[in-house]
Amino acid sequence: MMLRSLPLFALVAGLGAADASSYWVRVMPAAWSVTADGSVAYSEGGGTATRFDLEELDVDNRELAPMVDVQVRFPVLFDIAVGGHRYATDGDATLTRSFTFGGITYNAAERVHTDVDLLDAYAEVLVRLPIPGDLVVAGLGLAGHYVGAEIEVTSQTSGQRERLDEDLPIPAVAARVQLNLPASIGIEAAGHFLAIATDKADGRFLDLRGQVSWRPIPWLGLAAGYRYLSYGVAFETNDQDTDVDLTFAGPYAALVAQF
């Protein structure tokens, strides 16, 4: 019985030895254990905005955010990828100071409820670098993010509520590198970056991910990694002044399916 099983074990081991970059399509659904940090200032109607930290409103929580990355690798030196995640949290806090958000001023000792909802979807086009062999695969290109962000603050004392609701397109420079090790172990890093400054707006954006994956069979495996995501946006219009500085970071676990 044992001798008859050896060819099967050898076949599975041989299949598992395929390098981590040998695929046409790779799908990675993931769960991201992420915490939020940073501050927001927002005013309307020419008023002066008050900067507040997420911690003050008890919305710097750790949440489990769904995340997905889908990559298509072509025989020529060309890759595309799409993906996204959604982070949502809420919190209740008693204010220790007055602050103005939008067109409403919330007073010290007032009880407020805050909802935060962030959707970030991206598309990426990469040109693979002509690196000989299968040990290293790397690419450079461009990415575009669509970010939909909502922050709503409701006074539980007066019932007043104000919402910051913004949809932002973000272009970025993109890069990925993949190291293929024996036993179908892969080490990867990916990043998107933007920095821009004009008379009316300043923006910076950084999305970094690093992960280790293992596929016991060629088409299925697991991955674990860490993601750091930072948004810095400040702009003024005739009746609005917005300054957002937010960071989302934490580990994630993913299923790897590739064909």
- Terminal C-alpha separation, the chain: 32
The reported pLDDT for the residue numbered 22 is 63
Of 41-50, 79-88, 101-110, 164-173, minimum mean pLDDT range: 41-50
Greater pLDDT, 64 or 166: 64
What does the pLDDT look like over 120-132, one tens digit per residue? 999 999 999 999 9
Question: Is residue 75 scored above 90 in pLDDT?
Answer: no
Give 11-31 pLDDT, tens digit per residue. 333 334 445 556 789 999 999
Residue 57: pLDDT over 90: yes
Cα(162)–Cα(239) distance, rounded to whole angstroms?
A: 15
Residues with Cβ < 8 Å from 28, sequence gap 6 or more?
Answer: 68, 69, 70, 223, 254, 255, 256, 257
185 bridge partner residues: 181, 214
- For residues 230 and 205, the answer to whether their CB atoms sit within 8 Å is yes
CA distance 58 to 117: 14
> What confidence tier does 211 reach under pLDDT thresholds 50, 70, 90?
very high
- pTM here? 0.88
Residue 3 has pLDDT above 50, yes or no: no
Q: Which residue type occupies 165?
A: D
Measured CA to CA, the distance from residue 188 to residue 137 in angstroms comes to 9
- Taking alpha carbons only, the member of 166, 165, 150 closest to residue 117 is 150
Instruction: With a cut of 90, say whether residue 65 has pLDDT above it.
Output: yes
Q: What is the pLDDT of residue 54?
A: 95
